[in-house]
Structure 1
Amino acid sequence: MKTVKLAVVLVLTTLFVTLHAQESTVEDHTNRVEISSYKGPELRSYSQMLKGLIAYKEQHQLAPNSELYFILIPKSKSADVRGLTMRLASDDASINIPIDASGKFQLPLIELKKEDEYDLMLNKPKGQFYIKPYVKSANLAEDAKRLGDLRLECQVRWAIEKQDVSVVFSTYVKLLASGNPCTSRTVAVHFFAPAGIDAVTLETPKSTLSFKMNADNQYVLPVWDTDLNDNALVKYARRAVANIKQEN
């Protein structure tokens, strides 16, 4: 099955970075815009990150037994989360934000008196790290997430970044994606797999669906498909392990 790429590539400098329209496989002829989250998501101002916190609170039903984290990912081997510190600073206060060994942290939900009241401060240049939201329901195995967890991650991303995307992409989303790329089949949203993972499956009551990883360790899930329950399990594994299970 071949994929025919259309001759247009749009480059953004925000979380939703690399887009290209392409005709899908024989089974699905929907033209889609693919969204890569790997090459440009940056740590934003607290006022923008706050929009993600609010989106998480408003759509918490997607993952009611979860918490919202963010993860800082080094852009290069020279960047390292070890020794990295963060604080929320204002004219009157300084709040330390603990960062664990994996680069994961949480932000408090603060009602702002003015948009630039607080600034996120790192002890290293912000440009050294990517950032992504991380949602995972409690009581799940280390190698699993719910589909609802990833749907909520997408909503958090969009809330933070939608005001900064290009006019072209914003217009596309408004006209052809019902105003939200996380709920439209015309947009393929890439998710970043955990380190060391090269096989992703989605378990439904009827079948187990497999998804390919790209060179940037990303995969695409049909988060728009309302026929798929939020409780469907997304599982991560090394391909060697996945092949052994399949043979058995």
Structure 2
Amino acid sequence: MGSKARLLAASLLLACGAVPAQEPAAPSVVVRNTRDPVDKSYRKMLSGIARFERDHALAPGATLRFRLLPRTATVDMKGIELKVVGDTASMTVPIAQDNSFTLARNDVLLREDAALIANRRTSSMTWRAEVRSPGVPDGMRRLGDLRLECLVGIDAGLVSNNAQLFRWLGELFTNADRVCGDPDGNYLFFTERPVFAVIAQHGERRETMPFRMTYANGGPPASELPYCDCQVLLDRSYFAPIWDRSWPDDTLLSFEYMDDPPQPDAAPSSREEARAALGPPLKELRFDRGYEIWLYEWPPARKLPPGQDKRPQIAEQVLLFDSDGSTRKTRRREP
């Protein structure tokens, strides 16, 4: 397989995770004492913690926790239990109400290459590192925190749910510096609510991220969603410009959410009016909560070189519709 094809495959897998196993009708409430190929490696997760300590300069004063998020609509995220299980020893992991946790070091479990086991099927949940610096305004994220989250997440093995299946990817899939430093790395982050726009700001520079950096690269085909970390979180997923060093670590990301108050006098005012005025959209996305998004693109007003990610710079308009077809929000982006 050529290097370009391997890079494309790695990007897809980072955005979409590995193939989940069939989920049972009702999750077990007993923490298993046997290992499963998709359980998380305790050794790898401690490697992620070591990476956090090594690259703490990206987020001085920040704290690290791990967090569980739902991957499928049917998984019950209440009452989750976690346990580190080795050959001769085990350790209970306290989990907070928001399903976040930390990991203590245990040398016996480390030597035994123990597994972190949940009383839910591991592939029914998305696992992420969460790095938080003090002083960041509520509802915003600091870019250095997200850079460190990516490095920790890759080193901790949080993305791949079946390492055996994708072993052939080798270093391309597991090298955190390569994944987090490449515009095609596609490490997914998640907001707390359905997101409409992601805005980066540092000093006087302010830029809305392009549509492709939301909804797992603009929305994967429905046939691929069962394999995506974002399966039930598609409307909350985004990519951050962690690879783009022209944005310093102190850059702040803010978010406009779908359920924020609608724009007054949004035009066009409805799906029908948008189609009549603008024609068929390039892309349509429908979400479980009833919202629908349309994307239009056109060449920029003046000829521009490729962007920092080497992609062509494109002008775009994004429209958000309510379930009744009325326009809730609209935004235009000129590069």
Where does 1:25-104 land on structure 2 (aligned, <5 Å)? 35-36=14-15, 43-90=39-86, 93-104=89-100
1:198 aligned counterpart, secondary structure: strand
1:234 aligns with 2:253: yes
Where does 1:88-127 land on structure 2 (aligned, <5 Å)? 88-90=84-86, 93-111=89-107, 115-127=111-123
Amino acid at match of 2:15: S
Q: Do the aligned residues in 2 keep the contact of 1:52 with 1:157 (CA within 8 Å)? A: yes
Where does 1:1-248 land on structure 2 (aligned, <5 Å)? 18=12, 35-36=14-15, 43-90=39-86, 93-111=89-107, 115-161=111-157, 164=163, 166-168=167-169, 170-171=171-172, 180-211=178-209, 212=211, 213-214=214-215, 215=219, 216=234, 217-239=236-258, 240=260
Amino acid at match of 1:206: E
Q: Do the aligned residues in 2 keep the contact of 1:47 with 1:116 (CA within 8 Å)? A: no
Q: Do the aligned residues in 1 keep the contact of 2:142 with 2:252 (CA within 8 Å)? A: yes
- Which has the larger share of strand? 1
1:61-117 C-alpha deviation (Å, 9 max, x unpaired): 111121111111122232122111112244665433222222211112344575435
**TM-score after normalising by structure 1:** 0.71
Residues of 2 paired with 1:54 and 1:70: CA distance?
A: 14
1:223 aligned counterpart, secondary structure: coil
Aligned pair in 2 of structure 1 residues 50, 120: CA closer, same or farther (>3 Å)?
Answer: same
Residues of 2 paired with 1:243 and 1:9: CA distance?
A: 43
- 1:142 positional shift: 2.5
1:169-205 C-alpha deviation (Å, 9 max, x unpaired): 735898xxx9622123453433223233332111111
**Runs of 5+ in structure 1 lacking a partner?**
1-6, 20-34
Higher-Rg member (1/2): 2
Residues of 1 paired with 2:156 and 2:106: CA distance?
A: 16
**Runs of 5+ in structure 2 lacking a partner?**
21-37, 220-233, 265-329
Q: Paired residues, what number?
A: 219
Amino acid at match of 1:226: R
Q: Do the aligned residues in 2 keep the contact of 1:199 with 1:242 (CA within 8 Å)? A: no
Output the aligned Cα RMSD. 3.6
Amino acid at match of 2:195: I
1:81 aligned counterpart, secondary structure: coil
Amino acid at match of 2:182: S
Aligned pair in 2 of structure 1 residues 38, 101: CA closer, same or farther (>3 Å)?
Answer: farther
Residues of 1 paired with 2:182 and 2:55: CA distance?
A: 17
**TM-score after normalising by structure 2:** 0.55
Residues of 2 paired with 1:104 and 1:141: CA distance?
A: 20
Residues of 1 paired with 2:192 and 2:168: CA distance?
A: 32
Residues of 2 paired with 1:228 and 1:219: CA distance?
A: 17
Amino acid at match of 1:88: V
Amino acid at match of 1:198: F
